[in-house]
Amino acid sequence: MAFGVIIIGDEILSGRRSDKHLPKVIELLGARGLSLDWAEYIGDDPDRITDTLRRSFASGDIVFSTGGIGATPDDHTRQCAAKALGVPLALHPEAEVLIRERIRDMHTGADPVDYASPENQHRFQMGTFPQGADIIPNGYNKIPGFSVRDHHFVPGFPVMAWPMIEWVLDTKYAHLHHSTPHAEKSLLVFELPESTLTPLMVSIEQDFPGVRVFSLPSVGDTERGGIYARRHIDLGVKGEPEAVAAAFVKLREGVHLLGGDVVEPPEEQPAPSDRERRSPGRAGF
Domains and CATH numbers, the chain: 3-176 (3.40.980.10), 183-263 (3.30.70)
pLDDT of residue 229: 82
| Closest to 57 in 3D by CA, of 82, 88, 89 | 82
pLDDT of residue 285: 52
**What does the DSSP 8-state code read for residue 265?**
P
Quote the distance between the C-alpha of residue 204 and its chain's center.
Answer: 30
CA dihedral sign, ordered 273, 274, 276, 282: negative
Asked if residue 30 lies in contact with residue 271, where contact means CB atoms within 8 angstroms, the answer is: no
Distance CA 130, CA 87 (A): 6
pTM: 0.82
Identify any residues that bridge with 186 across adjacent strands, giving them in sequence order. 236
Q: Which long-range contacts (CB under 8 A, 24 or more apart) does 162-171 make?
A: 162/24, 162/28, 162/277, 163/139, 164/136, 164/137, 164/138, 165/24, 165/25, 165/28, 165/64, 166/28, 167/136, 167/137, 168/64, 168/136, 169/28, 169/29, 169/32, 169/34, 170/32
Asked if residue 11 lies in contact with residue 72, where contact means CB atoms within 8 angstroms, the answer is: no
- Angle formed by the axes of helices 21-30 and 158-172, nearest 10°: 30
pLDDT of residue 282: 42
pLDDT of residue 173: 97
pLDDT of residue 232: 92
- Which residues of the chain have a pLDDT value below 70? 267-285
Find the radius of gyration of the CA atoms of the chain: 24
pLDDT of residue 267: 62
pLDDT of residue 5: 98
Asked if residue 5 lies in contact with residue 53, where contact means CB atoms within 8 angstroms, the answer is: no
pLDDT of residue 273: 41
pLDDT of residue 34: 94
pLDDT of residue 265: 80
Alpha helices in 72-128 (DSSP H): 77-85, 93-106, 118-124
Distance CA 114, CA 46 (A): 32
**What does the DSSP 8-state code read for residue 150?**
T
Phi-psi region of 107 (alpha: psi -120 to 50; beta: other; left: phi over 0): beta
